[in-house]
Amino acid sequence: MAKRAFLIHGWGGKPGGGFRPWLKKELEKRGYQVETFAMPESETPQIEKWVPFLVSNITSPDEETVIIGHSMGAVAALLYLQKLSESIKIDKVILIAGSFKKINELTPAKKLIAKPWFQAELDYEKIKNSAKSIIAFYSDDDPWVPIENAEIPKKLGAKIIIEHNMRHYNEEAGIKEVPDILKEIISE
């Protein structure tokens, strides 16, 4: 089976935003089949819609599968992994600016949207057993997602990479390419 990569954007994101088009092209050059999802109701993300969407759209996950989640998409990726059968193990999950417990500067209305995501039960052992490796990227100057969010990936035994001047790895920050993330995906 061919190597496959699935890119999951975050809250308010879109498949063609930020680094995703570049990463898709770079992975396809290396023989990956790549899907970039348009997550349901991106401006008001709901676990009850996002996780079933991933279950329906990431079919036949196996040891040639890589899942890349950005921001709220990183949380969705982990919630997806814990839905997998015990017999399934993917190659890697890459978490980029994963917003697991805190997002800065949220309005009261946005805090209500974020609350279920922050309170989601994560089965650490199940998630660890569902991927050969977990790699988490954070930026030391992210205005939205503070590095303290890295505590969750640490509990998963993830390799934590702190980068400089990547802000939130998004369009607003002008981030169009992420060579270090590509390197982690394609490394054996």
Q: Given pLDDT bands bounded at 50, 70 and 90, which one contains residue 134?
A: very high
Q: In the predicted model, is pLDDT for residue 187 greater than 70? A: yes
Q: What is the mean pLDDT of residues 129-133?
A: 97
- Is residue 188 scored above 90 in pLDDT? no
Q: Is the pLDDT of residue 2 over 90?
A: no
Residue 188's contacts (CB-CB under 8 Å, 6 or more residues apart) are none
E strand or H helix that includes residue 155: helix 151-155
**Mean pLDDT value of segment 167-178:** 94
**2-15 as b/e: b if 16+ CB within 10 A:** ebbbbbbbbbebeb
In the chain, where the domains are located: 4-186
83 is written with which tokens? 């839905």
Tell me the CATH class for 4-186.
alpha beta
Question: In the structure encoding, which two tokens stand for residue 163, read together?
Answer: 């980068």
Residue 1's pLDDT band (boundaries 50, 70, 90)?
Answer: low
* Mean pLDDT of the region 78-100: 97
Residue-wise pLDDT for 42-77, tens only, equals: 999 999 999 999 999 999 999 999 999 999 999 999
In this prediction, residue 20 carries a pLDDT of: 97
Q: Of 16, 88, 15, which Cα lies nearest the Cα of 53?
A: 15
Nearest C-alpha neighbor of 178 from the set 28, 34, 20: 20
